[in-house]
């Protein structure tokens, strides 16, 4: 089974553990219900042991919104390893900061459209 990645949806389990941040809520309001290029995004999608903030299984696109806690030593390394693992499953990965969402939401949405 080496090299195989098992994808599963564990939305209920994860959503109980991880409430959305304000930045995630703002982005979610613009990508939910096929509002962006008619693309379906899911919240808190599991890839093996990792949770992705938003994911479109139709086009294999993951979206992450990183807050301040992601920019200290341990989380930076963890995020890089996590992203590498997720990308090894042939999932495209777009990462944004909270500040991107708060101060340049239109730009974030444009990048997502380009990724679609």
pTM as predicted: 0.75
Give the per-residue pLDDT at 17: 54
Give the per-residue pLDDT at 104: 95
C-alpha span between 24 and 63 (Å, rounded): 10
Q: CA torsion angle for 82, 83, 86, 89 (degrees, to 10)?
A: -130
Over residues 95-108, the pLDDT tens digits come to 999 999 999 999 99
Cβ atoms within 10 A of the Cβ of 41, count? 25
Residue pair 51/83 in contact (Cβ under 8 Å)? The answer is no
Residue whose entry in the numeric block shows the structure tokens 């996590």 = 82
C-alpha span between 101 and 103 (Å, rounded): 6
C-alpha span between 113 and 44 (Å, rounded): 20
Q: Which parts of the chain sit beneath pLDDT 50? A: 1-16, 70-72
Running DSSP on this structure, what letter comes out for residue 32? Answer: G
DSSP reduced 3-state for 90: coil
Give the per-residue pLDDT at 10: 46
């Amino acid at each position: 089974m080496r090299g195989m990645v098992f994808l599963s949806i564990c939305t209920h389990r994860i959503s109980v553990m991880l409430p959305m941040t304000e930045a995630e809520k703002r982005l979610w309001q613009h990508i939910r219900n096929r509002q962006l290029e008619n693309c379906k995004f899911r919240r808190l999608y599991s890839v093996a042991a990792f949770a992705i903030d938003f994911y479109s299984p139709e086009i294999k696109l993951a979206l992450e919104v990183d807050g301040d806690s992601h920019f200290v030593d341990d989380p930076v390394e963890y995020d890089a390893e996590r992203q590498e693992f997720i990308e090894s499953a042939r999932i495209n990965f777009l990462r944004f900061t909270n500040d991107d969402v708060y101060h340049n939401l239109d730009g974030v949405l444009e990048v997502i459209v380009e990724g679609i």
